[in-house]
Amino acid sequence: MAKLKVAILISGRGSNMAALIEAAKAADYPAEIALVVSNVAEAPGLAIARKEGVPTAVVSHRDRPDRETFDRAVSAELERHGVELVALAGFMRIFSPWFPTRWAGRLINIHPSLLPCFKGLHVQQQALDAGVRLSGCTVHFVIPDLDAGPIIAQAAVPVLADDTQDTLAARILRQEHRLYPLVVRWFAEGRVSLAGGRVAVTGAAPLLFSTDP
Ligand code: GRF
């Protein structure tokens, strides 16, 4: 069976991207990474993708007059590579409503909190300030509102008494690297469906819990 063509959009270090590329190396993985797009030419993740032989494109937001023009340029790259699923992984650009509408149901993101708690930036500090005992990461469909789309799957980790932003971020990131490849697999296997704004995942548990340090 043909593998699902996935694009990953990054702006920075690209560790989630690397986890997806690694997962897709397995012969029985049902998705292939067809393209990595960055809006930042110096994003360290681009070098990793190139080294892995994954096609890359840089679409800078700097030389575009408005958000939608940028979105359309990204979309043109995705279409050129026959992309069927778009996975945001540390992509630090806010879309115009045009992009999530164009890719509705085929655009997902990973966020380092248990949404709907702690949207936006400085997420681990928000979690520490709130005193929560659990945090984690969420893979969700992207809609025009930031960090607000229907949730597909989550992974939870404990928040420890002596955690700093960095220790909590690292614990969550390890789960991100497990969760994102799993969700992309489910998507490629046709197990993820979205109807009336609600997500169903068939034949798999969309919650991971880790007590790893
Ligand atoms: C991750 O924590 C992800 O959840 C958030 O941005 C970070 C990106 O890290 N959206 P990386 O570039 O994948 O290493």
| 61 in active site | no
Residues whose CB is less than 8 angstroms from the CB of residue 40 and which lie 6 or more positions away in sequence, other chains included: 11, 12, 58, 60, 92
The single residue of 111, 122, 140, 177 carrying the catalytic annotation is 111
Residue 93 burial by CB count (10 A; 0-12/13-18/19+): exposed, middle or buried? middle
Write the DSSP assignment of 45-111 as a string of letters: HHHHHHHTT--EEE--STT-SSHHHHHHHHHHHHHHTT--EEEESS---PPPTHHHHHTTTSEEEEE
Kindly give the distance from the C-alpha atom of residue 77 to the centroid of ligand 1, in angstroms, as a whole number: 22
Q: Which residues line ligand 1 (CB under 6 A)?
A: 10, 12-17, 45, 89-90, 110-112, 137, 173, 176
pLDDT score, position 213? 76
Cα(59) to centroid(ligand 1), Å: 19
CB-CB neighbours of 122 under 10 Å: 11
**Predicted pLDDT of residue 161:** 96
* Confidence at residue 5, expressed as pLDDT on a 0 to 100 scale: 98
- Residue of 188, 76, 55, 169 whose CA lies nearest to 123: 169
pLDDT beneath 50: ranges in the chain: none
pLDDT, position 212: 80
Residue nearest to atom 7 of ligand 1 (CA): 90
Q: So what's the pLDDT on residue 112?
A: 98
For ligand 1, atom 9, which residue shows the shortest CA distance? 90
Nearest atom (ligand 1) to Cα of 172: 2
Q: What is the pTM of this model?
A: 0.97
Give the tens place of pLDDT for each residue, 156-185: 999 999 999 999 999 999 999 999 999 999
Burial of residue 7 (CB within 10 Å: 0-12, 13-18, 19+) is buried
Q: Give the ligand 1 atom nearest the CA of 110.
A: 4
pLDDT digits (tens, 9 = 90+) for 78-88: 999 999 999 99
- pLDDT value of residue 135: 98
pLDDT at 10: 98
Q: Is 121 helix (H, G, I), strand (E, B) or coil?
A: coil
